[in-house]
């Protein structure tokens, strides 16, 4: 089955064409970073307006690149139906539902986080089920036991900020422009190890919950302690923050593997692009004989290829939505069912 997929849950407009036999045929992502940068964060109304303008031209280009021209070559459409910014989600949902109606093909609303979880299935050596997944994005930090597609048991999540937020908010305090996570990671490479030691939140307690909001306060105190910050000071703080977040994620992931008795780990979501996280996670995993899988870098952050994988599994199993255009700002991951089971 060949499908078109759309992603518009936040500030990336993306489309992909995926074939059940041949895999990913084409994909494109447009990031709205320049649009939101002067505001220091995503402005939902501007995001929606920009998706409306961008999505259809992107769809036309991916269809052309995949060699599909219109209805006769596309057998289904998947789109991100939540969670996310409701206005932004509705732009993708409306386009997907309208194209599906015009072409007479089924369409399905995909859970954005299921997309992130399944992104490593796009790789030539995909992870096996069951496995533990660490999902680390701008809005979520979760440990999940994945029994199969649509079988997700939440093991633990953050009580406050997500790991990506810890990076982004700390980056803002260091004067880096939005979205600061990747920039903070870049300057952290020049940082002197050990000059700033930040707390490893919740590591002293049992359980698989996270809490990252205290870290930005610790960074704030470090920044305020000096009247001016040199480039090196900034790099040192960034290094300390990155180590604290990464160590916390690694220790809790290993704990989740112990508790579930599983030996396969998936790390996905925007923060899984972080080099230091991959480095430390891979070392810890190999010491325990655990295999760890990551999406390729371009599929860590938001994209439509991952929505295509999740949507294809469901459309191919005969699932589809009613013609109403629906999106959900909130949508618990654990409420999903395996493909074809409604």
Does 92 interact with ligand KG4 (rule: CB under 6 A)? no
- The Cα-based distances of 297 to 119, 123, 285, 300 in angstroms read 10, 11, 19, 5
C-alpha separations of 283 from 85, 185, 220 in Å:
36, 19, 31
Measured at the alpha carbon of residue 285, what is the angle toward residues 186 and 137, in degrees to the nearest 5?
45
Residues 15, 20, 22, CA angle at the centre, nearest 5°?
Answer: 85
Residue 183: how many CB atoms within 10 A of its CB? 17
Q: Minimal distance in Å, beta carbon 294 to Zn ion?
A: 15
Contact residue for ligand KG4 among 237, 274, 284, 299 (CB under 6 A): 274
CB-neighbour burial class of residue 195 (10 A; exposed 0-12, middle 13-18, buried 19+): middle
Answer yes or no whether residue 138 interacts with ligand KG4 by CB under 6 A: yes
Q: Which of 68, 132, 173, 185 binds ligand KG4 (CB under 6 A)?
A: 185
Q: Which listed option, Zn ion, ligand KG4, none, makes contact with residue 201 (CB within 5 to 8 Å by class)?
A: none
Per partner kind, with CB cut-offs from 5 to 8 A, the member of Zn ion, ligand KG4, none near residue 4 is: none
Q: How far is CA 154 from the centre of its chain?
A: 16
**Considering the rule CB under 5 A, would residue 137 count as an interface residue with Zn ion?**
yes
Site residues for Zn ion, window 250-309 (CB under 5 A)? 302
Answer with the entry of ligand KG4, Zn ion, none that 115 interacts with (C-beta below 5 to 8 A by kind). none
CB closer to Zn ion, 80 vs 255 = 80
Nearer to ligand KG4, 114 or 302 (CB): 302
- Least separation in angstroms between CB 186 and ligand KG4: 8
How many whole angstroms separate alpha carbon 327 and alpha carbon 109? 8
Nearest distance in Å: CB 302, Zn ion: 4
**Among 136, 97, 117, 106, residue whose Cα is nearest residue 246:** 136
In this complex, which beta carbon is closest to ligand KG4, that of residue 113 or of residue 208? 113
Q: Which of 3, 267, 273, 336 binds ligand KG4 (CB under 6 A)?
A: 273
Closer of 106 and 179 to Zn ion (Cβ): 179
Sequence-distant (6+) residues with CB within 8 A of 22 are: none
- The interface with Zn ion within residues 36-95 (CB under 5 A) comprises none
Q: Does 182 bind ligand KG4 (CB under 6 A)?
A: yes
User: Could you tell me if 284 and 250 are in contact, meaning their C-beta atoms sit under 8 angstroms apart?
Assistant: yes
**Which residues contact ligand KG4 by CB under 6 A?**
10, 137-139, 164, 167-168, 179, 181-182, 185, 269-271, 273-274, 301-302
């Amino acid at each position: 089955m060949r499908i078109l997929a759309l992603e518009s849950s936040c500030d990336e407009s993306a489309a992909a064409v995926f074939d059940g036999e041949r895999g990913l045929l084409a994909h494109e992502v447009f990031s709205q970073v320049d649009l939101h940068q002067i505001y220091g964060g995503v402005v939902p109304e501007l995001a929606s307006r920009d998706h409306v303008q961008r999505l259809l031209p992107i769809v036309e280009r991916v269809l052309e690149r995949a060699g599909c021209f219109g209805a006769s070559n596309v057998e289904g459409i998947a789109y991100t139906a939540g969670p996310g910014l409701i206005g932004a989600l509705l732009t993708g949902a409306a386009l997907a539902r309208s194209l599906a109606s015009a072409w007479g093909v089924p369409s399905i609303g995909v859970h954005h986080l299921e997309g992130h979880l399944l992104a490593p299935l796009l790789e030539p050596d995909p992870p096996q089920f069951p496995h533990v997944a660490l999902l680390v994005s701008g809005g979520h930090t979760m440990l999940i036991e994945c029994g199969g597609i649509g079988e997700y048991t939440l093991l633990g999540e953050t009580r406050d900020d997500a790991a990506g937020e810890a990076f982004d908010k700390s980056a803002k305090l260091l004067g880096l422009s939005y979205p600061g996570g990747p920039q903070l990671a870049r300057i952290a490479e020049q940082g002197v190890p050990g000059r700033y030691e930040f707390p490893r939140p919740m590591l002293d307690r049992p359980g698989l919950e996270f809490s990252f909001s205290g870290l930005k306060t610790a960074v704030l105190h470090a920044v305020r302690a000096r009247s001016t910050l040199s480039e090196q000071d900034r790099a040192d703080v960034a290094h300390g923050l990155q180590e604290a977040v990464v160590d916390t994620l690694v220790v809790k992931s290993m704990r989740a593997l112990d508790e579930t008795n599983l030996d396969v780990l998936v790390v996905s979501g925007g923060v899984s692009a972080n080099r230091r996280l991959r480095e430390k996670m891979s070392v810890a995993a190999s010491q325990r004989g655990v295999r760890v899988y990551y999406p390729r870098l371009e599929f860590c952050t938001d994209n439509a290829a991952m929505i295509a994988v999740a949507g294809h599994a469901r459309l191919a199993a005969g699932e589809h939505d009613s013609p109403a255009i629906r999106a959900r700002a909130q949508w618990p991951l654990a409420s999903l069912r395996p493909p074809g089971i409604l």
